[in-house]
Amino acid sequence: GNKHTLFENQEFLEKYNLTAYKLDLADMSDSDKEYLADIANISGTPTTVFIENGEETTVLNRIVGSASRKTVIDRLKTMKYIK
């Protein structure tokens, strides 16, 4: 399909000097899930959350659900993570 997981593409991350972490809720302990809920209450997956200095920048910047490569790149440009 036309959906891309740019955050799992090491070449893309290195090109823009980005760090991404993939969290699988099924593999997390209850305490880790509680900690994640304190930082970013996620209602569904996949959800991309942008965290700076240990806090979510704003819920308005989230990418909820599968997104096209263009959507991800546009969001990263809007947030000034890439040019």
CA 2 to each of CA 6, 66, 67: distance values in angstroms, whole numbers, following the listed order: 12, 10, 9
Distance CA 21, CA 5 (A): 12
* Spatial contact of 12 and 6, defined as CB atoms under 8 Å apart: yes
What's the pTM? 0.74
Q: What is the pLDDT of residues 4-57, one digit of tens each?
A: 577 778 888 899 999 888 888 889 999 998 988 888 888 778 888 998 888 888
* Spatial contact of 55 and 41, defined as CB atoms under 8 Å apart: no
What residue type is assigned to position 83 of the chain?
A: K
